[in-house]
Amino acid sequence: MDELDAELEARLAEAHERTRTRGRNDVADYILLRASNDQLRAEAVARLLEEFMAAAGEANREGAGLMLERTNSHRFQVGNSTMVGERLTLRAGVRALTVEAGWPRTPRDGIVRGGGLACARVPHFGDRTAGDELLLTQATEAAAPRWLIVEEGARARVELAAERVRGHVARLLEAK
């Protein structure tokens, strides 16, 4: 956890305690919901990046020679909103595959459109058509959040599968 997340967590805990002692249970419940959602988001972002790292590791064991670079506290734009999260870059020569995943942290950052908890992008440097945009959703409280592929004009969204992740890494290596 970086300093921004630690500071935000401390302030939320302080605000929760203050609102609860003042009898503002509605606000206290909201603060607990936000903290719970932030934990779900962070875990889902970590799982997404781990899937791409695992696919890169498989390729490297077969001799691909991919270089990996991970960045925390990364900011990126999705529409008019700013997402804050992590970035993973896989490099094969001059080509690169980047995975950016996060969510708005402050009100001025904006919102996640489409009813999602977080957003992610998977662009291929030099191949705009190969990328994906993802939306983290949670159908029910009992179900784990899942990353869905957002396709322009498509009504139904498809869950991101491990095969698609491996396909992104394979496409990066094809262009090498």
The DSSP symbol for 156 reads: S
122 or 38, higher pLDDT: 122
> What's the domain count of the chain?
1
151 pLDDT higher than 90: no
pLDDT at 2: 66
Determine the structural domain holding residue 115 and report its residue range.
3-174
Confidence bin at 8 (pLDDT 50/70/90): low
| 79 φ, ψ (degrees, to nearest 5) | 65, -130
Distance separating alpha carbons of residues 124 and 172, to the nearest angstrom = 7
14 pLDDT exceeds 60?
A: yes
pLDDT greater than 90 at residue 50? yes
Please report the pLDDT score of residue 33 as a whole number. 76
